Amino acid sequence: MKFLADECCDAGMVLNLRDDGHDVHYISELTPGIFDKEILKKAFDEERILLTEDKGFGELVFYLKKQAIGVILLRFNTQQSNLKLVRLRQLINHHGEKLKGSFIIVEDDKFRFRKL
């Protein structure tokens, strides 16, 4: 799958996704510090699903009606950081067909899907 990882995402997670065979571009490696709306546009233009830990993308997508291929919001507290990659892999493996066209909130015990 094609992803664009926001700079707030863990570099180790990005590397692991690449090792899993996914095409992952990482804002921290490309253009750190760009605005969220530019990140979302880049993901859309490149037909990539955005990976982020920033709740602000929900406002961009739902209230400001910015276009997105798909958004995955990782919601974990600092004590649960080891679960991020595990849960993300579960999401991809079990719901991969539903990632495009959805805003997905990933938590330790559930996935919440909302259509874009």
Domains and CATH numbers, the chain: 2-115 (3.40.50)
Q: Which tokens belong to 95?
A: 């719901």
What's the predicted TM-score (pTM) here?
Answer: 0.95
Q: Which tokens belong to 18?
A: 């690449």
pLDDT of residue 77: 82
For the chain, how many residues are written? 116
Query: Percent of the chain beyond pLDDT 90?
Result: 93
The rounded distance, in Å, linking the Cα atoms of 67 and 116 is 8
Question: Confidence band (pLDDT; 50, 70, 90) for 79?
Answer: confident
Q: Model confidence over 80-100: pLDDT tens digits?
A: 778 899 999 999 999 999 999
For 4, 10, 20, 74, 75, the CA distances from 78, given in Å and listed in that order, are 22, 12, 24, 12, 10
pLDDT of residue 82: 83
For 3, 27, 36, 77, 86, the CA distances from 31, given in Å and listed in that order, are 15, 5, 12, 26, 27
